[in-house]
Amino acid sequence: MAATLRTRISDWIRQGLVAAQEAGDLPAFEVPPVVVERGRREEHGDYASSVCLKLAREARMNPLEIARRVVAHLPEVDFVGRVEAVKPGYINVWLDERWLAVQVESILEAGESFGALDLGRGQRVQVEFVSANPTGPLTVGSARNAVLGDTLASVLAAAGYEVEREYYVNDAGSQVRKFGESVYARYAEALGESAPFPEDGYRGQYVADLGRELAEEAGRRYLEMEYKEAVRAIARWAVDRVLEWIRKDLADLGVHFDTWRHERSFYEEGLFDKVLGMLRERGYVVEYDDAVWFRHPDLEKDAVLIRSPKVIPEPSERPTYLASDVAYLWDKLVERGFDRAIYIWGADHHGDVPRVKAAAKALGVDPDRLVFILYQLVTLWRGGEEVRMSKRSGEFVTLRDLLDEVGPDPIRFMLLARTADAPVDFDLDLAVEQSERNPVYYVQYAHARIASILRHAQERGWSLDEPADLSLLHHPSEMALIRKMLELPEVIEQGARKLTPHFLPFYAQELAATFHAFYRDCRVVSSDPADADLTRARLRLVRAAKSVLARVLHLMGMTAPERM
């Protein structure tokens, strides 16, 4: 399966167009891309194209007449059963039902690789996501980030990209230092000493726990060190501890990273100095007010700060946010040579996008190779009321809380089933509710139901691996199910092209619904000996449906339960 049905039909119609031109039935003109969409109504076929409407002006012909001539020149292909030119000038295409029936076998053969495309042609893409500050547990917002990034990565991999998942660890800069100071203070307290608690420090309970843990582990060692040095060491220790939590939470959510890139390394390895030098050479750096600024004509502001002693006095540490971003983009696109770098950011960072893009330009890197997916905020609801979250009051729902209360599957599904552009209202009551109002179970139920049918069949002595005469499949509900399964590659194509994984949960629901309707109409395991061949064919069909359902669920990072 290298191309979607839609592309094959598009190519096919293009062939008809060209053939019509060569035969002199159509005037010579450049053939535009043949847009093919799914027929919205039964009488519009499985696929439909409106190219002829677009061509009417250039060809100076009635669009319907164009369509007729194109149809007359369409070559024979096995997957098309019927084609017609209608009303204003559409070309409607119906798939061949015998061909459809046979696809069941190819779906089964493909298994977990069904829907794989080579859209990416092996291009290397990095998806960098979550990347939350390692100064505390992950929040619900990070969960949305994680789910989006991880699923997008899966979709891109399915579409033929070579994908790497990366977590960017912000372990340089003022927040980490402040975190270190906070832990230091709690650590000192645990040992009966008093230490100044930093202004705007981290006040969560976990900070106190870390302080106590450190006191038990290290004793008075850090108290005897020079303060700044102790803070630096403690910060490293505490960041490592927090990263362990983060890693665990993400693993429980089903998210795994290939690489963890540490911001600090940009400074330790001299990458930042190198990139800053390049910017300076190219004239994009100005200095005034005792600080270093990045300037670029694309920016609305005169300049953006790169380094200032007022932010970070320590030259060895990260100067500003942008400074690291500039070093990082160079690291991604040049040093490590990714063709594309995808960033998953909260929409509150949208203002930084033009800066990073401008920096890329300044460094001579094509800014289009940087892609930013911005997602809106998540608000939690419980008992019909918004759950207010505030880190200061310590009353915020962590990803850990959510995992303990809801479990990974509903979290993933519900955070996925919305465009990134729209804010998410996460209804805690609904997420845990096991009812028809909860779409998560609707999809998983279809999978479990098929598993149950297969168990039932085996108990009755049916073999599941037996070949079958698939041409016996022709019931409308059988055909609908096959058609729906064959849509998966197109869902993957859309998701990879538009970088919008939210198509998956919608498709999953449709597939489940199509299966349930089939189940109503068609008995799979028949006890009538006369139906033996049909039973065999339907068992193949149902196995294929189970496989595709599992495939979608796995793409979404969810489980496909055998029973529930």
Q: Which of residues 189-218 bind RNA (CB under 7 A)?
A: none
Encoded one letter per residue, x for contact with RNA by CB under 7 A and - for no contact, window 513-552 reads x--xx-xx-xxxxxxx------------------------
Q: Which stretch binds RNA (CB under 7 A): 14-22, 179-187, 249-257, 507-515?
A: 507-515
Least separation in angstroms between residue 103's CB and RNA is: 19
Least separation in angstroms between residue 514's CB and RNA is: 8
Helix residue ranges per DSSP H, 159-301:
174-190, 205-218, 227-252, 264-268, 271-281
Residue type for position 120: G
Encoded one letter per residue, x for contact with RNA by CB under 7 A and - for no contact, window 49-68 reads -x--xx-xx-----------
The rounded Cα 206 to chain-centroid distance in angstroms is 31
If the CB atoms of residues 189 and 559 are measured against RNA, the closer one turns out to be 559
Q: Which of 425, 472, 479, 483 binds RNA (CB under 7 A)?
A: 425
Least separation in angstroms between residue 215's CB and RNA is: 27
Q: Which of 173, 204, 410, 495 binds RNA (CB under 7 A)?
A: 173
Residue type for position 35: V
141 is a site residue for RNA (CB under 7 A): no
> At residue 40, what are phi and psi to the nearest 5 degrees?
-80, -25
Q: In what helix (H) or strand (E) does residue 140 lie, and over which residues does it extend?
A: helix 140-158
If the CB atoms of residues 134 and 191 are measured against RNA, the closer one turns out to be 134
Q: Are 29 and 143 in contact (CB under 8 A)?
A: no
Q: Which residues neighbour 333 within 8 Å (Cβ) at sequence distance 6 or greater?
A: 341, 360, 365, 369, 370
Q: Are 542 and 454 in contact (CB under 8 A)?
A: yes
Residue type for position 158: A
Q: Which of 321, 330, 343, 396 binds RNA (CB under 7 A)?
A: 321
Report the alpha-carbon distance of residue 143 to residue 145 in Å, rounded: 5
Q: Which residues pair with 343 in a beta bridge?
A: 128, 372
Q: Which of 14, 186, 318, 357 binds RNA (CB under 7 A)?
A: 318
Least separation in angstroms between residue 353's CB and RNA is: 8
Q: How far lies 328's CA from each of 79, 116, 128, 246, 264, in Å?
A: 48, 31, 11, 22, 11
If the CB atoms of residues 222 and 266 are measured against RNA, the closer one turns out to be 266
Please report, as residue ranges, which positions from 329 to 348 form the binding site for RNA (by CB under 7 A): 347-348
Q: Which stretch binds RNA (CB under 7 A): 82-90, 146-154, 336-344, 386-394?
A: 82-90
Q: In terms of Cα–Cα distance, which of 231, 285, 229, 239 is closest to 262? A: 239
Please report, as residue ranges, which positions from 471 to 500 form the binding site for RNA (by CB under 7 A): 490, 494, 500
Q: Which residues neighbour 49 within 8 Å (Cβ) at sequence distance 6 or greater?
A: 9, 10, 13, 34, 35, 36, 37, 90, 91, 93
Please report, as residue ranges, which positions from 98 to 137 form the binding site for RNA (by CB under 7 A): 133
Please report, as residue ranges, which positions from 259 to 288 form the binding site for RNA (by CB under 7 A): none
Report the alpha-carbon distance of residue 555 to residue 493 in Å, rounded: 13
509 is a site residue for RNA (CB under 7 A): yes
Encoded one letter per residue, x for contact with RNA by CB under 7 A and - for no contact, window 348-387 reads xxxxx---------------------x-xx----------
Report the alpha-carbon distance of residue 143 to residue 156 in Å, rounded: 20
Encoded one letter per residue, x for contact with RNA by CB under 7 A and - for no contact, window 381-420 reads ------------------------------------xxx-
Q: Which of 121, 274, 280, 437 binds RNA (CB under 7 A)?
A: 437
Q: In terms of Cα–Cα distance, which of 524, 527, 519, 554 is closest to 539? A: 524
Least separation in angstroms between residue 328's CB and RNA is: 11
Q: Which of 40, 60, 368, 384 binds RNA (CB under 7 A)?
A: 40
If the CB atoms of residues 212 and 262 are measured against RNA, the closer one turns out to be 262
Least separation in angstroms between residue 487's CB and RNA is: 9
Please report, as residue ranges, which positions from 294 to 313 form the binding site for RNA (by CB under 7 A): 300, 305, 308, 310-311
Least separation in angstroms between residue 319's CB and RNA is: 8
Q: How far lies 86's CA from each of 53, 64, 161, 199, 385, in Å?
A: 11, 7, 39, 72, 53
If the CB atoms of residues 289 and 465 are measured against RNA, the closer one turns out to be 289
Report the alpha-carbon distance of residue 418 to residue 494 in Å, rounded: 15
